[in-house]
Amino acid sequence: MEEGEGTKPVKKDKWEIARVLLEPVGGLLTALAVALVGFFGSRLIQQQQQFDSNFRLYSELMSKREESESSLRKDMFKSIIDSFLKPGMQNSSLDAQLLNIELLAYNFHESLNLKPLFIQLEKSILSLKNSTEKKDQLDRLERVAHEVTRKQMLSLEEAGDKFDRQIDLDSLKLSPGGLVLEEGSLTVKTSTRLYRIVALEADPRTKNLKVRLEVRTINDSLPENETPNIVEFWVGFFDFPMIDNTRLSHDQRCAVVLMNFDEYSIDISVLGFPGSHASLREKPYFDEIIDNLRKGTQ
């Protein structure tokens, strides 16, 4: 009998069988995975390219839009200013002058100090002999000022703080040294300050109020020996808070805003806000910029 004759065949190990069966499946899965990665990778690249293309298109459109708006505002500004400065301006109708100052105030109130134009126009209106026309024109001029003040205060209150006070005119007349109002505190960012206001004098004809403002820091984050800010000034309806304000330390501002003036009382608001929300013409001092940069790196 030959060797090996009559012996049983050797059974293959189950792991070997599994390997034989799964090798083709593994190759198929590998090919499928490569295909899926390639497909989704290609889709992702296409989406990114589409996003970049859309972003560039959007940036170009916004840039062109800003250029167009800047050009329009420049032409509008030049046309309106020329109407005030050109010879013979005083001979133009008050309606035309009021319309021009409305256009200036509503479009450029954040960057221009319009108070001189308001005062000049107010003088022209007060010189009118017709009392009815005088009242109508003054009311229109004050409405423009109130609307500008309202817009600016909405913007400043979001970033700062405010409180309101009322001044009784009879009490002011009986206070020759000035009427001391209740003190108030305002907190802007990490700085809390105490505001003391003294009403000194009121002018019913021009609806202006003279005040003395004292500002003192009362929290521990600023030096205790910081000298208080004490200023005296007149405030009227044409003093807008973004433009007419008092500069404080640490790039902050405060403003006293005349809200109402009638025969019995005066309403004022006191605003505290960051210097970054002041008018576009207000620039921070160099040391304030360095201080802000230093704080940002800490």
Is residue 1 a part of any domain in this protein? no
**pLDDT of 1 above 70:** no
**Statement: the pTM of the whole predicted model exceeds 0.95:** no
In a domain, 35, yes or no: no
Burial (CB < 10 A; 0-12, 13-18, 19+), residue 176, is: exposed
Question: pLDDT tens digit string along 21-53?
Answer: 656 666 666 777 777 777 777 777 877 777 777
**In this structure, is residue 106 part of a structural domain?**
no
Burial, 21: exposed, middle or buried (Cβ in 10 Å; 0-12, 13-18, 19+)? exposed
Mean pLDDT to the nearest integer, 206-211:
94
Q: Would residue 131 count as lying in a domain?
A: no
Beta bridge partners of 197: 213
With both helix axes pointing from N to C terminus, report the angle between 94-108 and 14-85 in degrees, rounded to the nearest 10: 150
Q: Is the pLDDT of residue 83 over 90?
A: no
- Rounded to an integer, the average pLDDT of 253-264 is 94
| 217-246 confidence digits (pLDDT tens) | 876 454 555 567 889 999 999 999 998 899
Q: For the chain, how many structural domains are there in total?
A: 1
Among the listed residues 200, 207, 148, 153, the one whose alpha carbon sits nearest the alpha carbon of residue 173? 200
Q: Is the pLDDT of residue 7 over 90?
A: no
Residue 170: give the domain boundaries. 161-297
Is residue 19 in some structural domain?
Answer: no
- Cα–Cα dist 257/215, whole Å: 16
User: Domain for residue 235, yes or no?
Assistant: yes
229 within some domain = yes
CA-to-CA distance for 202 and 185, rounded, in angstroms? 24
Whether 198 is in a domain gets the answer yes
Of 141 and 42, the structure prediction assigns the larger pLDDT to 141
CB proximity list for 111: less than 8 A, separation 6 or greater:
279, 280, 281
Residue 246: name the closest of 216, 204, 220, 287 by CA.
Answer: 216
Residues 291, 298: Cα–Cα separation, whole Å: 11
132 pLDDT more than 60: yes
Burial of 42 (0-12, 13-18, 19+ CB in 10 A): exposed
